[in-house]
Structure 1
Amino acid sequence: MKAFMPTGDFERAVILRDVPEPDPAPDCAVVEVEAYSVNRGETFQLEKPATGWRPGKDVAGTVIRSAADGSGPEVGARVVAHPPAAGWAERVAVQTSQLAKLPEGVDPIVAAALPLAGLSALRLLRAAGQLAGRRVLMTGASGGVGHYFTELAAAGGAEVTAVTASPERGARLEELGADHIVHDVADAEGPFDVVLESVGGDSLQQALCKLRPRGTLIWFGQASRSAPTIDFFRFWEGPTSGTIRHFDYTDSDVPDGRDLATLVSYVSKGRLHPEIGLVANWLETPDVLNTLRTRGVRGNAVLTRTGV
């Protein structure tokens, strides 16, 4: 079968090659891939790819071989899945605990935009706790996680301030329920009960100073690719006390499949609207990767094997 393999070349990061068919474990189904989403984090991994690794964590398609242990959906079921890798291919083996059936009316292109960003947003909501009536600040809100989190948190009664460099993307976040849009974290009017920080560098320090006493800052990324720094003497510019915690979306007691089922249910009911900024044929994957690197896509980029 055909699959994209990393090249280690920055300008042409992947190339289509012949690879062996999936050899599934007993608890894995084989999915014929119809669409997959490209995450910005994968563009970073492709700069120094690990030996034997193939990209692809967000896929949607059809089960063509059910799991030998009897778990998971039957052959012919439409699914969304979150394999650990190797999804930029014609077929991929996925543990049944990492996939969910798609309801009627949810397109594979839409579903493919859900897994990593959607799981991150849903689990950030859990980490933040009860948000009804609370003031929330989110940095780096322009990406997929920011869009999902903003819509879900606003629907849950939070007052959301989103930080985004782009007025256009800020307008979209307002449509999704953000109460306030700022283009620099320094301009956010605190204090905030919860701060979600994903930029890194000095952004974390600035956001920390916006926290209310005994509030919570959750650090979940460094999109700037600069490590966050904290000067605890500056802590007193804001709260007198507070909690700082790290968030990793993979650290969850809920299986991916169950959370994916929740996400596709929200989409089916019109409660969640994936932000898809680009849809292209999968043969265009190398070019799409370059577009993502230059932040040329608002929301998710989805590649489809069924044409556009």
Structure 2
Amino acid sequence: MSTRALIVDPSAPASIGLGEIADPVAGSGQLLVEVVHASLNYADLNNAVSGRIPAGAPLGLDASGIVLEAAADGTGPAAGARVVLFADGAFAERVAVDVSAVAEVRDGVGLAEAAALPTAGLAALRSLRGAGIAPGKRVLVTGASGGVGRYAVQLASRAGAHVIASVGSPARGDGLAGAGADEVVVGLDGVKEPVDIVVETVGGPHLVAAWELLAPGGSLQSVGWTSGEPAVFPPYGTVGLPKTLMSYVNEFGAADDLAELVRLTAEGALVPGIGWRGSWERFAEAADALRGRRVAGKAVFDVKPQA
């Protein structure tokens, strides 16, 4: 038996192709999930060419679906439950995942919206937490029109911070004021006062400029690097009053934080932005739109046609 999946295929454009993998079998402490939706991240595009995921193996980190088989040890959601998951190999029709990788999706939250939560939502939630988000803090979010950025704007605003959303063009700022941004700026020239926290998703010269805006005692969370450009600091650029540049990567075992993101979405405090949606057979189109920064928010695949 086999199941379809988006796999690493070095012979395909961008090394991503639809293929077949062995039907998954749930091990101890695992669920078998039928995937209904999945969402695409820059990390998936990088994983296709970096060698981290071997040729023939499934890509993907974010998905939502229905539990086909509950965990044999009695932990986790029951069969038939709607769930969201954050785990390697999520771009497949069926996946076996650890109970610690899933959270139930509450009534009122669509599975497409749930699939848009994991990578970007976890990065925003955890980076702000790590930076010490609190009422009154000045928070700069770079690349604020992207998946992580939109979530960071909403979560920082909800925490009572003064939120500055930086985007690449005026059009990319659409909707950010409504999401909670107190200021929407193009680039960083419009930021006139120091900030306490930076959620930095662009990298390159943008990261250097954001570092220079950081107040003493502040924290820059380096969450992404969509520019693909090097960051070159001027001499003594990192010498001075204490402030912190933190490297960031999403860690697995995210059930509790996934449940928090679902709860906030159910309550209307977090609104997943879906800027592209279509069949996973159109993955090349979605990848091109993501690379070209033509997706406001998240790109979501429909894996199960009738969903």
In structure 1, what is the Cα distance between the partners aligned to 2:75 and 2:230?
42
- Preserved CA contact (<8 Å) 1:200 1:225: yes
Q: Point out where structure 2 has 5 or more consecutive residues left out of the alignment.
A: none
TM-score (normalised: structure 1): 0.91
- Preserved CA contact (<8 Å) 1:205 1:229: yes
The alpha carbon displacement at 1:35 in A equals 0.5
Count of residues in Structure 1 that have an aligned counterpart in Structure 2: 302
Q: What are the superposed Cα offsets for residues 204-249 of structure 1, whole Å, 9 maximum, x if unpaired?
A: 221121122222222222211123332352457xx63322222223
SS in 2 for 1:249: coil
1:262 and 2:265 correspond: no
1:210 and 2:208 correspond: no
In structure 1, what is the Cα distance between the partners aligned to 2:262 and 2:78?
18
The equivalent of 1:245 in structure 2 is: 246
Q: 2:193 aligns with which of 167, 176, 190?
A: 190
The equivalent of 1:38 in structure 2 is: 40
SS in 2 for 1:261: helix
In structure 2, what is the Cα distance between the partners aligned to 1:225 and 1:115?
23
2:21 partner amino acid: V
Any residues of structure 2 matched to 1:224-239 within 5 Å, and which? Answer: 224-234=227-237
- Preserved CA contact (<8 Å) 1:281 1:307: no
Q: 1:67 aligns with which of 71, 84, 87?
A: 71
1:306 and 2:294 correspond: no
The equivalent of 2:102 in structure 1 is: 99
Relative distance call for 1:130 and 1:48 in structure 2 (3 A) is closer
The alpha carbon displacement at 1:307 in A equals 4.4
Relative distance call for 1:10 and 1:172 in structure 2 (3 A) is farther
The equivalent of 2:285 in structure 1 is: 287
- Preserved CA contact (<8 Å) 2:14 2:45: no
In structure 1, what is the Cα distance between the partners aligned to 2:162 and 2:12?
41
Q: What are the superposed Cα offsets for residues 84-135 of structure 1, whole Å, 9 maximum, x if unpaired?
A: x221111001100110111112111110000110111110121121320111
- Preserved CA contact (<8 Å) 1:33 1:89: yes
The equivalent of 2:144 in structure 1 is: 141
Q: What are the superposed Cα offsets for residues 124-168 of structure 1, whole Å, 9 maximum, x if unpaired?
A: 121121320111112222211110010010111111111111212
In structure 2, what is the Cα distance between the partners aligned to 1:66 and 1:207?
46
In structure 1, what is the Cα distance between the partners aligned to 2:192 and 2:102?
40
In structure 2, what is the Cα distance between the partners aligned to 1:216 and 1:295?
26
SS in 2 for 1:233: coil
In structure 2, what is the Cα distance between the partners aligned to 1:232 and 1:136?
26
In structure 2, what is the Cα distance between the partners aligned to 1:16 and 1:210?
44
Give the percent of matched residue pairs that are identical in Structure 1 and Structure 2: 36
The alpha carbon displacement at 1:10 in A equals 6.1
TM-score (normalised: structure 2): 0.92
Root-mean-square deviation over aligned CA pairs: 1.9
- Preserved CA contact (<8 Å) 2:8 2:54: no
- Preserved CA contact (<8 Å) 1:9 1:47: no
In structure 2, what is the Cα distance between the partners aligned to 1:274 and 1:140?
16
The equivalent of 1:6 in structure 2 is: 8
Relative distance call for 1:2 and 1:217 in structure 2 (3 A) is closer
Runs of 4+ in 1 over 4 A off after TM superposition: none
